[in-house]
A = this chain, B = another copy of it.
Amino acid sequence: MALQARAEVTRQAIIEAAVDLFEEVGYGSTDLTAIINRAGVTKGAFYYHFPTKQSVAAAIIDEAKTRIAEATRSVMESPSPALDNLIRVTFVVAEMVDRDNLVWVGNQLRQAMGQISESGQKSYPERAPVYLAAVEKAVAEGDVRADIDPDEAAQTIWASMLGCRLLSDAGGEDISARLTQAWRVLLRAIVPEQSLPHFHEFVTRISQTYPQPSSGSGTCGPQ
């Protein structure tokens, strides 16, 4: 047990070091030596935990997915109206990606995997059902118009959010501002006309709850 605890510490040290370096110079430019140096472990220790550099990336991606999934679930489980939750979850996830280096790097890596090494997995889709369920619940709750195809709506919302992140990473503009913009447009399409002001205000309030760091501390290369 004690040993296993120590092993876990080592493993985490490696992952953290890798996250930092991947963020700073990118996966391709990070060499194993740098990782083990920063982690303060030996090559042997590294090799004990990970068969290869790529597997560290995989572990990071997994961890990032787990964290995001958990955050998503936790928001979605709240008893609030489904659309409220759906909106909030997009901001929460966006903030996570910005604040949690591991998540950010995991995201980058997932997107880059195909170019990094001949075995890229997809893996995006798994959040789709969550979005769809929320939209369907929102329809039932009367917050989303019944004359809209829930799947269509869910997919579009999701696509828009992904696009916002892409643009934000690349262009430097604030992600939460982009999310707000996108929601303001999308809400027109999916909520009954009379609730539009309410949701616009809701979005505005949410976006102020997650004030993005003024500038680009987070560095975060583009993608």
Contacts and interface: CB of A to CB of B under 8 A. Distances in A.
Give the size category of A's interface with B. 35 or more
A155 interface: yes
A219 B113 CA distance: 11
B222 A122 contact: yes
B181 A185 contact: no
Most B CB atoms within 10 A — which of A24, A30, A149, A164? A164
A23 interface: yes
A159 B171 CA distance: 12
A189 B115 CA distance: 36
B178 A185 contact: no
A223 B189 contact: no
| Copies of the chain in the assembly | 4
Contact of A112 (B112, B151, B187): B112
A114 B112 contact: yes
A167 B171 contact: no
Interface string A183-205: 01111111000000000000000
Contacts of A107: 170
Given A108-B115, A122-B170, A158-B163, 17 more contacts: A26-B118, A27-B222, A28-B117, A109-B115, A109-B222, A111-B166, A111-B169, A111-B170, A114-B220, A114-B221, A114-B223, A115-B221, A121-B222, A124-B171, A125-B167, A156-B181, A220-B223
Interface of A: 22-30, 107-118, 120-125, 128, 148-149, 151-153, 155-164, 166-167, 169-172, 178, 181-182, 184-190, 219-223
7 contacts: A26-B118, A111-B223, A123-B222, A128-B171, A149-B181, A170-B223, A185-B190
